[in-house]
Amino acid sequence: MRTEFINTLTRMAERDPRVTLMTGDLGFGVVQKFAERFPDQFLNVGVAEQNMTGLAAGAAMSGRIVFTYSIANFPTLRPLEQIRNDVAYHGANVVVVAVGGGMAYGALGASHHATEDLAVLRSLPGMTVIAPGDPVETTAAVEACCAGVGPCYLRLGRAGEPLVHEQPIDWRLGKAIVTREGDDATLISTGGMLHTAMQVAQRLSAEQSIELRVLSMHTLKPLDERAIATAAADTGAVFTLEEHSVIGGLGGAAAETLAENTDTPCVFKRFGLTSEFLREVGDQQHLIAAAGLDEETVSGRIAAALATSPAARLAA
Amino acid sequence: MQTLADHWLDADEVDDLAHRLRVHTVEMTHRAKSSHVGSSLSMAELLAVLYGRVLRIDPQNPEAPDRDRFILSKGHACAALYATLAERGFFPLSWLESFYHNGAKLPGHATAKGIPGIEVSTGSLGHGLPIATGMAWAAKKAGAMHRVYCLLSDGECDEGSNWEAALFAPHHLLGNLTVIVDYNKIQSLGHCDKVCSLEPFTDKWAAFGWRVESIDGHDTVAVERALRSAHEHAEQPTCVIANTVKGKGVSFMEDSLLWHYRTPQGEEYEAAMAELADRATRRAG
């Protein structure tokens, strides 16, 4: 995703001199070409995320559209108050970009796992929160952000995420993408878990004739509440899948929507991280499996939930 | 651009403005029953010189792209800034009467929301300088001629974010950036040298690469000279350490931690107003 990010940003920066990239001294092999090509639109501020965020707000108030770039929690939780007061309160055109959302930096350990970022950023007034599902969505999201969308958080994976969308997509801010049609239940994912969600759907179809609708909820805020409500009405069961705490992220957001949507009660379950630090050491896939978010485990839990649902019991 | 430069005050008028800022500040904090009167009184001359003699801004066109930017990072002392802006014509003086009141325009920390002349909303310390630095960087890159000024409290220099920006600005040759520290020597829970000493303060800024001017912050001539001297250094930011007295102008508030918090009411309010009136009379005489 970071490749699509920098390639798209480069393309947009060429067209629009307002587009500016600031980094907190990270992005080796990613940002150098941009820096050489657009010296007046690039700034390595050093290892100083609070200053970076304040600088970005000041530059945005001066007419620029600024992307602040770092990894994991460094551009978000470290300067959180700057994001709240300087960026969000002022409605500044600053896009906070985190590479390595979730556990992409696996074996580097808990300091490098961004697993509460969506919940925290989502709670800030005026923030748009985006976590693209694959490289194609990343390109579309960066293009959208370059138009100036006000305060925004863009959570990316790292590199080499599989392509999910093989056909062109109609990516719109705040509109979930129906990535697979199905009537038996809906699996909503955000960020790079989209690929796993599609694998789960294929497995359940092949092995149990359960047809899942898959939604890519690339924009967590503003949330496509209508897509969630429609999924509940059409399929009677909604599951969420995210590489993030189950508190306050996609699962939390969907729960809020469904709890208030009493017209269509449905089966609902969140698949994500519990509110505990992982003690396991390993790469991203290892940690995802350890957390029970791998394709096989999620498939089993969805099948079990559907089998014991009130509707299933009635049918039996 | 029509600017305040077309209506610059003379020396006496600057002194008068500083005096009126003190009167407004005491009245505002009295009516509001609010804190931070001492923090406002210590910077009256700094604001009077900035808005009377230095800043190129236009009250009729407060968002003109080529205006100088002033950021009050010590947003808790906003009463004095609101008073300055009202005195200089950015909004009606009547707004000051409802400072802090329910449903009014002016809250207890500087806000840019709907207040002409306020560049940046502040209130949490350590935010103003990075933003000001971003504005200075953007201006320099754009080849713009305007300057950026940021007024800090001494206590907020405990915040690490300021020192991140302090490292950055000289490295990027931001001669268009001037920091002013209202060094009244008292922070939230005590004298700075007892809480977390800033000394040697001028040496610290100099070591970070700044031009430093250490002056009497109540001497309007010295303040103007220091601020103007910064204009001659295109590639080095300037830090003006303004040595001031907290609560300056009301004898029983001077150099007193209590008046960081205490609100002037009853006999104390009457005494403060009487003392300010007496000073004005003596100066006029």
Nearest-Cα residue of chain B relative to residue A46: B168
The answer to whether B152 faces chain A, any CB pair under 8 Å, is no
The dihedral through the CA atoms of A250, A256, A258, A259 has a sign that is positive
CA distance A273 to A292: 8
Provide, as residue numbers in chain B, all residues whose Cβ is less than 8 Å from the Cβ of A56.
134
Residues 35-74 of B with CB under 8 A from A: none
What is the per-residue pLDDT for B5? 65
- CB nearest B135 (choices: A45, A51, A62): A62
In B, minimum Cα distance to A48 occurs at B164
State the best of A22, A42, A62 to mutate against chain B, taking most chain B CBs within 10 Å: A62
Tokens of B11: 């020396």
- ipTM reported for the complex, 2 dp: 0.94
Q: What is the share, in percent, of chain A residues with pLDDT greater than 90?
A: 93
Q: How far is the alpha carbon of B250 from chain A, nearest alpha carbon, in Å? A: 34
- Minimal Cβ distance to B121: which of A45, A48, A90: A90
pLDDT of residue A309: 81
What pLDDT, in 10s, does the model give residues B73-88? 999 999 999 999 999 9
pLDDT score for A316: 66
Are A58 and B135 inside 8 Å of each other by CB?
yes
Which residue ranges in chain B fall short of pLDDT 50? none
**Contact yes or no for B130 and A40 at CB 8 A:** no
What predicted TM-score, i.e. pTM, was given to this entire model? 0.96
- Chain-chain contact of A86 with B161 (C-beta, under 8 angstroms): no
Q: Tell which of A21, A45, A51 to mutate to test the B interface (max B CBs under 10 Å).
A: A51
Helix (H, G, I), strand (E, B) or coil at B190: strand
For residue B2, what pLDDT is reported?
Answer: 58
Q: B127–A56: do the CB atoms touch at under 8 Å?
A: no
Residue-level pLDDT at B3 = 62
Quick one: average pLDDT of A302-314? 85
pLDDT at A159: 83
Residue B153 DSSP label: E
What's residue B241's pLDDT?
Answer: 98
Measured CA to CA, the distance from residue A40 to residue A55 in angstroms comes to: 14
**Is residue A210 very low, low, confident or very high in pLDDT (cuts 50, 70, 90)?**
very high
| pLDDT tens column, A20-53 | 999 999 999 999 999 999 999 999 999 999 999 9
Would you say A113 and A103 are in contact if contact means Cβ atoms under 8 Å apart? yes
Q: How far is B131 from chain A (nearest CA, A)?
A: 4
Buried b (16+ CB within 10 A) or exposed e, A93-126: bbbbbbbbbbbbbbeeeeebbbbbbbbbbbebee
For residue B266 the two structure tokens come to: 């009853």
Banded model confidence at residue A135, pLDDT cuts 50, 70, 90: very high
* pLDDT tens string A214-225: 999 999 999 999
Give the chain B residue whose CA is nearest to the CA of A20. B138
pLDDT-based confidence at A262, cuts 50/70/90? Answer: confident
Q: Give the whole-angstrom CA distance, residue B37 versus residue B261.
A: 8
Chain B positions touching A53 (Cβ under 8 A) are: 130
pLDDT over threshold 80, residue A289: yes
For residue B35 the two structure tokens come to 């804190």
Q: What is the pLDDT of residue A310?
A: 77
